Amino acid sequence: MRHFIRSAAVAIAMAAASALSLSAAMAADISGAGATFPYPIYAKWADAYKKETGIGLNYQSIGSGGGIKQIKAKTVTFGASDAPLKGEELDSTGLAQFPMVMGGIVPVVNLEGIKPGELVLDGPTLADIFLGKITNWNDEAIKKLNPDVKLPDQAIAVVHRSDGSGTTFNFTYYLGDVSADWKEKVGVDKAVEWPVGIGAKGNEGVANNVAQTGGAIGYVEYAYAKQNKLTYTDLVNKDGKKVEPTAAAFSAAAANADWSSQPGYGVILANQPGAESWPMTAATWILVYKKPDDAAATGEALKFFAWSYAKGDDMAGQLDYVPMPDAVVKSVEEMWGKDIVDASGKPLYSGM
Amino acid sequence: MSAVSEAVTSSAMRTREATVRRFALTDTIFRAATRASAILVLVILGGVAISLIAGSWEALSKFGLSFLTTEAWNPVTENFGALAPIYGTVVTSAIAIIIAVPIGIGIAIFLTELCPRPLRRPIGIAVELLAGIPSIIYGIWGLFVFAPFLQTTVQPFIINLFHGIPGLSSLFAGPPYGIGLLTSSLILAIMVLPFITSITKDVFDTVPAVLKESAYGIGCTTWEVTRRVTIPYTRIGIMGGVMLGLGRALGETMAVTFVIGNAHRISASLFAPGTTISATIANEFTEADGDLYTSSLVSLGLILFIITFLILAIARYMLMRIDSRTGA
Amino acid sequence: MSTAASLHQSRKRKNAVMMALCVIAAGIGLAWLALILGALLYKGLTGVSLSVFTEMTPPPGDAGGLLNAIYGSIVMTIIGVVVGTPIGVLAGTYMAEYGRFSRLTTVVRFINDILLSAPSIIVGLFVYELMVRPMGHFSAIAGAVSLSILVIPVVVRTTEDMLNLVPNALREAGTAIGAPRWVVIRSVAYRAALSGIVTGILLAIARISGETAPLLFTALNNQFWSSNLNAPMASLPVTIFQFALSPYEEWQQLAWTGALIITLTVLGLSIIARSLTGRREDR
């Protein structure tokens, strides 16, 4: 025991000493934190970027709220969020915001004999189901949309996210956009007071619960519906057209959006116009300081983002993400050249 | 002659004196080190408490005491209340302890009294292994394996069994979702089991053999020895194990987060989704962005501290009464 | 006579029933373990290969391993235990030996029980405010500190309990032959309580080995190899957490494999510690 205490004391002293000596050393690798939704693609890009340039960029998913808090606390080089910050908040904090990548959210169901894409729903019906107004699959509203489908007389089991999530934010934003009732009674946020249903943890939890429960309906990011081979439904979009959830339909929504209408490109892609647009498309944003304390790290981060815009499209496609339209990328890069500067006012980004 | 012996004794005395003084010094240092460590425990909790109070100030000053009595939890309108998570925390921990304590003590008795010697150690290690499984694994296992099992087999059976029996029928009311309060309680029971078992077993081993042997000597059965000698002798130790288990049950985050459903509702049915304080914090903290929202979540943490404080105070009081009654 | 015989019978019956219940309890405990371990082995074992221990965590769609996460977990757990255990053992010693009846002990015991049940996420937030914010970045040291805060209460509790169970006669015998207090504590009390104290340390390691929340806000995580204690460092639990709920098969597989590694490591430690301290136990 004496040896134990003595060696423990030595170890503490060593640990303390190494901590001291290390804090003197330079610590800054580029690190970013935030939204969970883009984590896989950022990890993929970072890995490929490191292989090409040797520069490691460490992104960790701690949630959008966490990402915003961390960039405000300046513990990371960049933050990431699934819900855009408002113009006044960007101004008051001195943050620049731009969209990085997109994805789609799809309704998934568990109904016997119904295959992916066979069922079609529209916004108001979806809102009424999640409001608990429509409780049975053979409800008139669903029948009207699906005259050729044999709908069972089965109670609808609503499955939603139990954790706060950007997916829920985009989903409730869409429901609020198409249903005044939803907006008034439930509202739009990353976590809401759900009128009905059961909460499941994460996209994977929702996917699993829907797969287990007969008559269930839920919403997940597209990649989860695809990987878990869930029965997704089609949706009727703003133009009244029936669309299938595909990468092309997600891109169409982004292409038809008016990105300059909001400060910091804060356009939410739910319910965008266009015949091809998937109504539940979602983007995710990056936050950096316009005048960062550590200009070198932010400069490196911008180089990484530029590289990802230029070379990351295929990788995004493989993981069921949708790259940003070229016009948006061009505008974002122009913004970098103008707005993001070092202490002397010199732009940190000057093209690849 | 005498001078020589005097010199010898006095030098021996001096050496002894030096040794005693060195011993005294070491003892003082050791004592000071232990005391400083004990105080450090206080300081750490003080630090945690201060950061909690500072973090929860905004929410508590806005909602006041109504925070404790409000069931609503609405991030959209920023109206928050802690009643549902408090209820869920207390109910799940209570059920977990009610299940785990008898089983845990039973296993400890089995290991110390009944188990064939060669099997003792493997089984003891096996049960302790339950404590070594990361809590996230309990969560994932609960979500992907255990909850579907409950949903498809156990829950429909129980719902049918108690259908129409007043009280029980509302306690086990459907629909069977798989996840919910009872599932969380069961997972928690599994998680606290090794804490209770391994500590109970360790304290059982400390019972002097002579005590047990004298009881056997007057013709007591194994159960009587356990009930009348072993358990009374070790009850403070057992209580320690239960407290460890209860502590883990109250604060357990990841496993519960996966299987409780995070519904801010209080329902009579144990099959219904609910939420606990730590599950709410874990589920929502990372995505909370408003100051009031974050502050309300930190307030939940503060409330958990207070609940723990109260439960411990009650437990200590009960223990004191047992002590004074038995005159131990 | 007949009443005595029937009393004897009923006592024997009661004994048999209670002992049967204990066997059933042990059966239940083992069955749970078998169920969980079975699922863990079933899902984790297929992913075990050499590359798990030699390659870094991959991006989705690529093959890879868990080397950086395993390394980070080992480093932070060791620092956490090395920092937390002496403090916990010493504090427990004070409470059971020097200050058994002092007011400080009563307070610390109470406070310690509260710390035991503090949700780990709150400990993480405390260390975040204490270290990460002032330092301006996430670091492995901050992660290790939050782990050590989780270790302390478990060790304090078990050390105190175990020392309290050491019969006073032993201490008196030590004191009678002139040994000073600290020698009695070291050579008599610690020795008698060693097995229990080691159990406490193991429970503490077991507890922190799977902690996600306190690391997420302190050590963050790292996709790449990093041995810098002053920078974000990867850890198994956080990696498992992120990978398990992803849609990609490779990541889910690594998550199960990582979980299996943690569990088997704790099992291994448990067996080693038991065989080191267990000789007396099986007397």
> Is C25 close to B45, i.e. CB distance below 8 A?
no
Q: How far apart are CA B143 and CA B26, in angstroms?
A: 54
State whether C111 and B36 contact (CB < 8 Å).
no
Q: Please name the member of B103, B135, B208 whose beta carbon is closest to the beta carbon of C210.
A: B135
Residue of A nearest to B34 (CA): A5
Rounded distance between C-alpha atoms, residue A293 and residue A342, angstroms: 8
Backbone angles phi and psi of C230, in degrees to 5: -100, 15
pLDDT band at A33 (very low <50, low <70, confident <90, very high): very high
Chain B contact set for C24 (CB, 8 A): 106
User: Could you give the angle at which helices A2-24 and C140-164 cross, rounded to 10 degrees?
Assistant: 160
User: What is the pLDDT averaged over residues A247-270?
Assistant: 90
| CATH of C52-279 given 2.40.10.10, 3.40.50.300, 1.10.3720.10, 3.40.50.970 | 1.10.3720.10
- Closest CB from A36, A190, A201 relative to B143: A201
Lowest-pLDDT choice from B213-227, B306-320, C19-33, C143-157 = B306-320
- Model confidence over B97-135: pLDDT tens digits? 999 999 999 999 998 888 888 888 788 777 777 776 777
Please give the backbone phi and psi of residue A286, each rounded to the nearest 5 degrees, phi first: -110, 145
A43 touches B at CB < 8 Å: no
Please state the rounded mean pLDDT for residues C158-163.
Answer: 89
Residues 63-82 of C with CB under 8 A from A: 79, 82
Residue A61 has which token pair? 């998913």
User: Which residues in chain C touch residue B222, judged by CB atoms under 8 angstroms apart?
Assistant: 15, 19
Whether residues A198 and B261 touch (CB distance < 8 A) is answered with yes
A213 touches chain B (CB under 8 A): yes
Q: One-letter amino acid identity for B157?
A: F
Q: What percent of chain A has pLDDT over 90?
A: 55
Query: What are A169's two structure tokens?
Result: 């934010």
Smallest CA–CA distance from A48 into chain C, residue: C59
More confident residue, B10 or A159: A159
Q: Which residue has the higher pLDDT, B253 or A80?
A: A80
Do the Cβ atoms of B248 and C167 come within 8 Å? no
Q: Is the peptide bond before A323 cis (omega within 30 degrees of 0)?
A: no
**CATH architecture assigned to A30-103+282-339:** 3-Layer(aba) Sandwich (3.40)
- Kindly give the interhelix angle for C103-117 and C140-164, rounded to the nearest 10 degrees: 130
Q: Do C232 and A44 touch (CB under 8 A)?
A: no
The model carries a pTM of: 0.83
Say which CATH topology domain A104-256 has.
D-Maltodextrin-Binding Protein; domain 2 (3.40.190)
List the single residue in B47, B121, B301 with the smallest CB-CB distance to C274. B121
The b-or-e profile of A212-225 (16+ CB within 10 A means b, else e) is: bbebbbbbbbbbbb
Contacts of C126 in chain B (CB under 8 A): 47-48, 51-52
**B236 touching C (Cβ < 8 Å):** yes
Higher pLDDT, residue B174 or B301:
B301
Question: pLDDT tens across A312-338, in order?
Answer: 999 999 898 999 999 999 999 999 999
Is C232 in Cβ contact with A28 (below 8 Å)?
no
Nearest to B286 among A65, A199, A200 (CB): A65
Can you give the pLDDT at residue A14?
53
Judged by phi (left if over 0) then psi (alpha if -120 to 50, else beta), residue B221 lies in: beta
CA-only gyration radius of chain A, Å: 23
The CA distance from C23 to C16, in Å, is 11
Where along chain A do the CATH 3.40.190.10 domains lie? Answer: 30-103+282-339, 104-256
Q: How far apart are CA C63 and CA B58, in angstroms?
A: 47
Q: Does residue C273 contact residue C198 with C-beta atoms inside 8 Å? A: yes
B64-326: in CATH 1.10.3720.10: yes
List of E strands, C21-150: none
Mean pLDDT of chain C: 87
pLDDT at A27 over 50: no
Q: Which residues in chain B touch residue C90, judged by CB atoms under 8 angstroms apart? A: 33-34, 36-38
B328 pLDDT tier (thresholds 50, 70, 90): very low
Selected residue of A14, A41, A47 to mutate for chain C interface (largest C Cβ count, 10 A): A47
Q: What is the mean pLDDT of residues C94-100?
A: 90
Binned at pLDDT 50, 70 and 90, residue C270 comes out as confident
Q: Which residue of B has its CA nearest to A193?
A: B74
Could you tell me which chain B residue has the CA closest to the CA of A66? B286
As a whole-number percent, the residues of chain B with pLDDT over 70 amount to 94
Burial letters for B107-133: b for 16+ Cβ neighbours within 10 Å, e otherwise? bbbbbbbebeeeebbebbbbbbbbbbb
CB pair distance less than 8 Å for C199 and B221: no
pLDDT of residue A2 exceeding 70, the answer is no
- Find tokens 């597989």 and name the residue: C253
pLDDT at B2: 58
Per residue, what are the HEC states of chain B? CHHHHHHHHHHHHHHHHHHHHHHHHHHHHHHHHHHHHHHHHHHHHHHHHHHHHHHHHHHHHHHCCHHHHCCCEECCCCEECCHHHHHHHHHHHHHHHHHHHHHHHHHHHHHHHHCCHHHHHHHHHHHHHHHHCCHHHHHHHHHHHHHHHHHHHHHHHHHHHCCCCCCHHHHCCCCCCCCCHHHHHHHHHHHHHHHHHHHHHHHHHCCCHHHHHHHHHCCCCHHHHHHHHHHHHHHHHHHHHHHHHHHHHHHCCHHHHHHCCCCCCCCCCCCCCCCCHHHHHHHHHHHCCCHHHHHHHHHHHHHHHHHHHHHHHHHHHHHHHHHHHHCC
What digits encode the pLDDT tens for the residues B129-174? 777 677 778 888 888 888 888 888 888 888 888 877 877 777 887 6
A25, C230: Cβ pair inside 8 Å?
yes
**Out of B31, B44, B120, whose CB is closest to C98?**
B31
CB of B175 within 8 Å of a chain A CB? The answer is yes
DSSP element (H, E) containing A136: none
Longest dimension (CA), chain A: 82
The kind and range of the H/E element at C167 are none
At residue A54, does pLDDT exceed 70? yes
The CA angle B168-B171-B172, to the nearest 5 degrees, is 90
Show residues of chain C in contact with A60, CB under 8 Å.
216, 220-223, 232, 238, 242
The stretch C204-210 carries a mean pLDDT of 83
- B37 in reach of chain A (CB within 8 A): no
Is pLDDT larger for residue A5 or for residue B290? B290
Within 8 A of C93 by CB-CB distance, chain B residues are 34, 37
Which tens digits make up the pLDDT trace of A119-131? 999 999 999 999 9
Task: For an interface test with A, give the residue of C89, C137, C198, C256 to mutate (most A CBs within 10 A).
Answer: C137
Interface partners of chain B (CB pairs < 8 Å, 3 or more) are A, C
A242-243 and A120-122 beta bridge pairing:
unpaired
DSSP A179: -
Size of interface A-B (CB pairs under 8 A): 106
Q: Based on DSSP, count helices (H) and strands (E) in chain A, helices before strands.
A: 14, 13
Quote the tokens at residue B48: 């945690």
A143, pLDDT greater than 70: yes
Residues 60-119 of chain B whose Cβ lies under 8 A from any Cβ of chain A = 72-77
Angstrom distance (rounded) from CA C193 to CA C173: 16
- B-chain CB neighbours of A198 within 8 Å are 177, 179, 261, 263, 273
pLDDT confidence of residue A19: 46
Domain boundaries, chain B: 1-62, 64-326
CA A286 to each of CA A78, A206, B185: distance values in angstroms, whole numbers, following the listed order: 7, 27, 40
Q: What is the mean pLDDT of chain B?
A: 84
C94 → closest Cβ in B37, B129, B205: B37
Q: Which residue has the higher pLDDT, B148 or A232?
A: A232
Cβ contact C78:C235 at 8 Å: no
Token match 């809590």: residue? B135
> Which helix (H) or strand (E) is C60 found in, with range?
none
Q: How far is B217 from chain C (nearest CA, A)?
A: 15
Mean pLDDT of chain A: 87
Q: How far B20 CA lies from chain C's nearest CA (Å)?
A: 9
**If 0-12 CB within 10 Å is exposed, 13-18 middle and 19+ buried, where does residue A255 land?**
middle
Cβ distance of B262 and A166 shorter than 8 Å = no
Q: Are C90 and B29 in contact (CB under 8 A)?
A: no
